[in-house]
């Protein structure tokens, strides 16, 4: 069976589709998946053994410069490749209007969320068959339900299996026993206070463990340097591409991270992970995996779902919802996973 899967972004959302694909492959051993994904995430589908082709799309970039994409022939080349194959099923797992042209121009029966289930209900008019899926489920479970309905099997009761083949990752550049702390996020309200990070780094140093601090942009690099200052066991990593980041996460003893794509990646790789939530709610889109712990801040306005905290940034602890969710609380979770003395 040849499947075209349309799940383009973001990093966490792409990862959430992997357990559904693993389950589909178990039910349909001959399943051959081609995956349409944003150019920045093309490595992820290739880590799954059910995927034989990855079709890179650049919706984010094309939106900024549509005329340039037309003049340079990028749009034409993408749609020519898209239409070169006929599929037994075209499955739009995004449920957004931005993927509607891709779905409509694909060759094969089109399936997706129905109007009540899709994030943008109007997207459902693009499908030959629209599937109702309970929106109160976690995203991983929603996608498992969508795949099962589209491909004709029952969702199993087994825990989600992301199915990532670690042999497809590059060799690990880091050696030894280390923690990896994922401190960066695009939302300021998701950032765990620096005082908490430094206390946690100090705790790791007391038991002789290294701490690695990656970064994704200039602001995160500056934060990583501030966190590592004065700690000989803490190291700011060089810039990492997605495959190198995955390999480093896969080799860690444990990962601690805020609500971000890399934290989802750590969980998908099966690395023991403690994920920290304040402004956002993990119930529907949080990290999901067998070897992880989610910690939710308890505060009057949490989760506020606001990009920027409404409290003044100059306060001693900012955002204040992380007051009780401190380094000792996180360390206790690492101990409960058997990863810290």
Structure-block tokens of residue 62 = 């094309």
The last residue of one of the domains, among 136, 166, 196, is 166
Range of the domain at 294: 170-336
CATH assignment of the domain containing 294: 3.40.50.2000
Mean pLDDT for 275-302 is: 93
Task: Supply the DSSP symbol for 94.
Answer: S
Whether a cis peptide bond, with omega within 30° of 0, leads into 303 is yes
What's the total number of domains in the chain? 2
Domain annotation covers residue 278 = yes
Q: Label residue 180 left, alpha or beta by phi (over 0 means left) and psi (-120 to 50 means alpha).
A: beta
pLDDT of residue 174: 83
Q: CA 185 to CA 12: how far, in whole Å?
A: 13
Same domain, yes or no: 198 and 266: yes
Same domain, 161 and 199: no
- Among residues 107, 142, 166, which one ends one of the domains? 166
Q: Is the pLDDT of residue 86 over 80?
A: yes
Q: What is the 8-class DSSP label of residue 96?
A: S
- Report whether pLDDT(30) > 90: yes
Residue 28: Cβ within 10 Å count = 17
Q: How far is CA 267 from CA 36, 187, 235, 262, 334, in A?
A: 23, 20, 22, 9, 14
Dump pLDDT digits (tens) for 94-115: 999 999 999 999 999 999 999 9
| Average pLDDT, integer, range 59-65 | 89
Tens of pLDDT, residues 136-164: 999 999 999 999 999 999 999 999 999 99
Are 179 and 130 found together in one domain? no
Final residue in a domain of this structure, among 115, 143, 166 = 166
pLDDT digits (tens, 9 = 90+) for 197-231: 999 999 999 999 999 999 999 999 999 999 999 99
């Amino acid at each position: 069976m040849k499947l075209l899967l349309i799940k383009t972004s973001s990093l966490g959302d792409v990862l959430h589709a992997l357990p559904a694909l693993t389950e589909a492959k178990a039910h349909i051993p001959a399943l051959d998946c081609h995956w349409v994904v944003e150019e920045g995430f093309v490595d992820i589908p290739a880590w799954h053994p059910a995927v034989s082709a990855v079709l890179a799309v650049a919706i984010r970039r094309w939106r900024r410069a549509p005329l340039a994409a037309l003049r340079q022939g990028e749009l034409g080349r993408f749609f020519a490749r898209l239409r070169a194959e006929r599929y037994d099923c075209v499955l739009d797992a995004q449920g957004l209007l931005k993927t509607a042209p891709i779905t409509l121009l694909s060759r094969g029966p089109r399936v997706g969320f129905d109007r009540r289930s899709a994030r943008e209900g109007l997207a459902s008019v693009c499908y030959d068959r629209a599937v109702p899926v309970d929106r109160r489920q976690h995203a991983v479970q929603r996608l498992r339900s969508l795949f099962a309905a589209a491909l004709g099997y029952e969702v199993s009761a087994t825990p989600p299996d992301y199915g990532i083949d670690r042999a497809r990752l590059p060799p690990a550049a880091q050696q030894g026993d280390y923690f990896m702390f994922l401190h960066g996020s695009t939302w300021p309200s998701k950032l765990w206070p620096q005082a908490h990070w430094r206390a946690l780094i100090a705790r790791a140093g007391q038991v002789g463990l290294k701490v690695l601090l990656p970064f994704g942009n200039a602001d995160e690099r500056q934060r990583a340097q501030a966190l590592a200052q004065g700690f000989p066991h803490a190291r700011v990593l060089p810039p990492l591409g997605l495959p190198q980041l995955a390999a480093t996460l896969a080799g860690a003893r444990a990962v601690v991270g805020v609500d971000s794509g890399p934290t989802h990646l750590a969980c998908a790789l099966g690395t023991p992970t403690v994920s920290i939530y304040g402004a956002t709610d993990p119930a529907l889109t949080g990290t999901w995996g067998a070897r992880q712990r989610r910690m939710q801040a308890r505060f009057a306005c949490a989760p506020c779902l606001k990009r920027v905290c409404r409290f003044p940034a100059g306060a001693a602890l900012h955002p204040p919802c992380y007051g009780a969710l401190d380094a000792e609380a996180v360390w206790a979770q690492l101990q409960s996973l058997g990863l810290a003395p």
